[in-house]
Amino acid sequence: MYGWPIRIDRGGQCLFACLQFRCEHCSESATQSMSSVKSWLVETGRALLPVVWLTVAWILLFEIFRVILIVATWYLHGDATLALLGEAMVRGLRFDLSVAVKLIAPFAAWRIWRPSPVRVERNIVWAVFAVVAFLSIFAMTSEVEFYKEFQMRLGPLVFEYFGKPEHNQIVASMIWSGYPVIRWMLVCFAFWALFVWIFGKIFLKSESTYGWQAGSMATVVWVVITVLAFRGGWQRDPLRWGNAFFSQSTYANHMTQNGVFALMDTIKGLTKKKKKANAPWTKGMTPEEAIRVTREMVMLSGETLVDPATYPLLRRSPPCKMEVKKRPKNVVLVIMESFSARFCGATGASFGATPRYDALAERGFLFDRAFSVGTHTAQGVMAALCAFPSLPGYDALMRETMASQPFRSLPAVLSDNGFQSLFIYNGLLSWDNKEGFFRNHGVQRFIGLSDFKNPTFLDPVWGVSDHDVF
């Protein structure tokens, strides 16, 4: 109540008049508030609109180049069907959106907070964007011939041959002589000119006026969108190259990827590699001495080196003389988390904690001089299935783009001999990029956390219990 003096007249007419005035006053105030909120939301939308349109333009550009890549390399498609490639394009939107928000992040912040910039400012922004757009479009254009040659998306191999000036000249000469450089450069410039023109129309020419409140709200909204798109969604692990491997078709998996995403990931990895190159452990011995010592450690009797100059450890083993049976037995490799030798009775521990394992060790073979390659699951799994050691500075190799290159793996060897492979893990298959890495290296089927129905125990971080797995 407002505390107004009210005189009740005949039939309560005076009271009714006062209350009616109060209701009309409240209604008018509510209408003004709603109008203010609506105006604020409209201004926020106006601040975000150019940024949204630019994001859509980038995604369309990525999809167009994905189609160009598919058409140009169709003869390499193998068993990939049109339906599978359609799914690859849809899944590829996650990578496209992730790259798009990275590329436009500084331009988005500038556009939201500078809705009416001066001419000089616009010209500077246009020039910077033109450089970013050209580098991205040039990378996607170059990727067509790159994929034809190597059957892989842009990655570490791009920088492999550009190490010394004399090598750069030779490689550049080979590219000029062996590929339709002029044709693809014309395509590159055509897309670049069109894209920069679109940028000028939808991003620079439009002017808006809104208050700082709308600008602040637009910034908050766009930061949330950027973080989600950058990570590829709400999931615990960020988007990695392995998320593109969703099928048994390598070609379809490759088409899911985004070349600019892979290139940015590679540059990030190379930057880390340069920092690691100055680590103290790299100064311990010369490369020649390291190769000699390693050969003495790993080479077995009868093994010969294939190409010592190029592949220091690639060796050929003598043929196996074991009798080959008609029907091979199943091969089951069990990797147990945190199963340390110091707690195991078969290796000398007195706790009595592993009676079943000790019994198995007595009936079978126990390698009591085998040592772990590291302290993390990813290192042990990669070593067990790919015979690849954990190198200093590369303790999370499966996550990095360089891990997409060929490895000789146990699943691939067994697959070549008629086996079907199945990888069972009690947690998230995306953890450490397990599914993406091993799907690319021979594993055909996967069972992970989401496939266990009504487990007896479920930890939100580590997954179901070993009992449920077995």
Question: pLDDT tens across 273-318, in order?
Answer: 666 656 666 667 888 888 999 999 888 888 999 999 888 998 988 8
Q: Which residues, listed in sequence order, are joined to residue 315 by a DSSP beta bridge?
A: 305
CB 106 within 8 A of CB 268: no
Above 90 in pLDDT, residue 193? yes
Check residues 70 and 150 and name the one with the higher pLDDT.
70
CA–CA dist 233, 94 (Å, integer): 8
Tell me what the mean pLDDT of segment 30-44 comes to.
Answer: 63
Question: Which amino acid, 95?
Answer: F
Query: What's the average model confidence in pLDDT over 122-127?
Result: 88
Q: Which residues are registered as beta bridge partners of 463?
A: 459
Lowest mean pLDDT among 81-90, 191-200, 361-370, 383-392: 383-392
Give residue 393's pLDDT band: very low, low, confident or very high (50, 70, 90). low
Return the pLDDT at 333: 92
Would the pLDDT of 238 be above 90? no
Q: Which amino acid is at 195?
A: F
Strands, E, within 277-356: which ranges? 304-307, 311-316
pLDDT: which is higher, 75 or 372: 75
pLDDT at residue 2, as a whole number: 43
Among 28-37, 140-149, 433-442, the minimum mean pLDDT is found in 28-37
- When mean pLDDT is compared across 182-196, 211-225, 243-257, the lowest value belongs to 211-225
CA distance linking residue 128 with residue 345, whole number of Å: 65
Enumerate residues 6+ apart whose C-beta is below 8 A from 388.
Answer: 382, 397, 407
What tokens does 141 get?
């254009």
The lowest-confidence range among 35-39, 85-89, 221-225, 371-375 is 35-39
pLDDT for residue 22 is more than 60: no
Q: With 60 as the cut, is the pLDDT of residue 18 above it?
A: no
pLDDT band at 466 (very low <50, low <70, confident <90, very high): confident
Strands 304-307 and 458-459, sheet pairing: unpaired
Higher pLDDT, 418 or 22: 418
The fraction of the chain above a pLDDT of 70, given in percent, is 82
- Across the chain, mean pLDDT equals 81
pLDDT computed for residue 348 by the predictor? 87
pLDDT of residue 207: 62
Confidence of residue 24 (pLDDT cuts 50, 70, 90): low
Provide Rg for the chain, Cα atoms. 31
pLDDT at position 217 over 60:
yes
* Residue 178: predicted pLDDT: 80
- Supply 242's token pair: 């392995």
Of 210 and 435, the structure prediction assigns the larger pLDDT to 435
- pLDDT band, very low/low/confident/very high, at 6 (cuts 50, 70, 90): very low
- Bridge partners, residue 311, by sequence: 307
List b or e across 87-108, with b for residues whose CB sees 16 or more CB atoms inside 10 angstroms. bbbebbbbbbbbbbbbbbeebb
Q: What average pLDDT does the segment 150-163 reach?
A: 75
pLDDT at site 17: 46
Distance CA 187, CA 191 (A): 6
Highest mean pLDDT among 189-198, 334-343, 410-419, 450-459: 189-198
